[in-house]
Amino acid sequence: MLDLDAYLARIGLAGEPSVARVHRAHATSVPFENLDPQRGVAVSLAPADIERKLVDERRGGYCFEQNLLLKAALEALGAEVELLLARVRVGAAPGVIRPRSHLVLRVRADGQTWHADVGFGFGTLLEPLPFGPGAEHEQSGWRFRVVEDGAELVLQTDEGEGWMDLYGLLARPVPLIDVETVNWWTSTNPRSPFVTGLMVSSQTADGTRTSLSDWRELALTERTPSAAIVTPVARDELPELLAERFALVGFVLDVDGRLDRVGATEAASYMRR
C-alpha cells in the first residue's frame, strides 16, 4: 500500500487535500523523465518500485509511473480512478497512427468527474479538467480544452497559434495488463522514442516549463506561454544539468557517452559536491 504521508510530503502537502491540489502539487514537484529506458533499463510498474523511485529516491518518471502513482494517492484519499489509454497526436506526420501509449486517468470524487494527467512530457496539465468536451481552461497562462473527434476525446492546447491536438483517448477504461503491455513496448522496444532519445521536463506553479531533450537537438528549453529560450548543450553537461535544473542526482556519463546511474554510496558523494 502507498505510504500516503510520504507521497504528500514529496509533493509538499499534508492532510487530506483535494484532487485539484494534489494534481497541481504533483505536476510541479515530480519531473517527467525517461532516464531508465534511455539507459537500457526497463520500467517496472510494480507499485513498490514506482513508490521507491518517485517518492523515496525523489526521481521522476514517464506517464505510466506518474499517473499510476497519482492513482494510488487519489484512491488512498477516497477517490475512484479508472485507467484510459490515449494516442499522442502532437508531432505525428499526416496519416500516421500511433499506438495507445499514453496513460490518462478518469477520477470521480466529491460528485465530480475529472480528466487527470500529470505525465505528459510536452507540458502536462497543472490541474485536472472536468471530464469530457467543454469550455476552455486557463492554467497559469496555458490554455486547454477537450473536443470530440469521432469516438475520441481530444485534449488540445492553444499556444498562441491556434488549437493543437495533444492526444486522443477513448472514454473506456482498460485493465492494468493493457497498461503493462504498452509500457513494456515503450520502455524496451529499440524503435521507441523513449529508448532512443532523452526527455526530461518540469513545470513550476507560475507556468514555466523547462525541458532537456535530444529529440531534435540536445538542448535545454525554457518556455512560458509567451516566449521560449532554447540553449544548445554539450553531452558532457548532462549530469550537472540533471542535478541542478531537475534535482535528478547521481547520473554520470559512461565511457560511450551514455547516461548511467551511480550506486547509492557514489550517489551520496555526488550529492555533496
23, 26, 117, 165: the active-site residue = 117
- CB atoms closer than 10 angstroms to residue 42: 12
**Is 49 part of the annotated catalytic residue set?**
no
**Is 63 part of the annotated catalytic residue set?**
yes
23, 26, 102, 115: the active-site residue = 102
DSSP codes of every residue in 9-78: HHTT--SS--HHHHHHHHHTTS-EE-HHHHTT-PPP--HHHHHIIIIIS---B-HHHHHHHHHHHHHHTT
Return left, alpha or beta for 3; rule: phi > 0 is left, psi -120 to 50 is alpha, else beta.
beta
CA dihedral 22, 125, 155, 99 (to 10 degrees): -90
CA distance 153 to 156: 10
* CA proximity to 212, closest of 223, 226, 198: 198
CA distance 258 to 197: 11
**Is 117 part of the annotated catalytic residue set?**
yes
23, 26, 63, 115: the active-site residue = 63
What are the residue numbers of the active site? 63, 102, 117
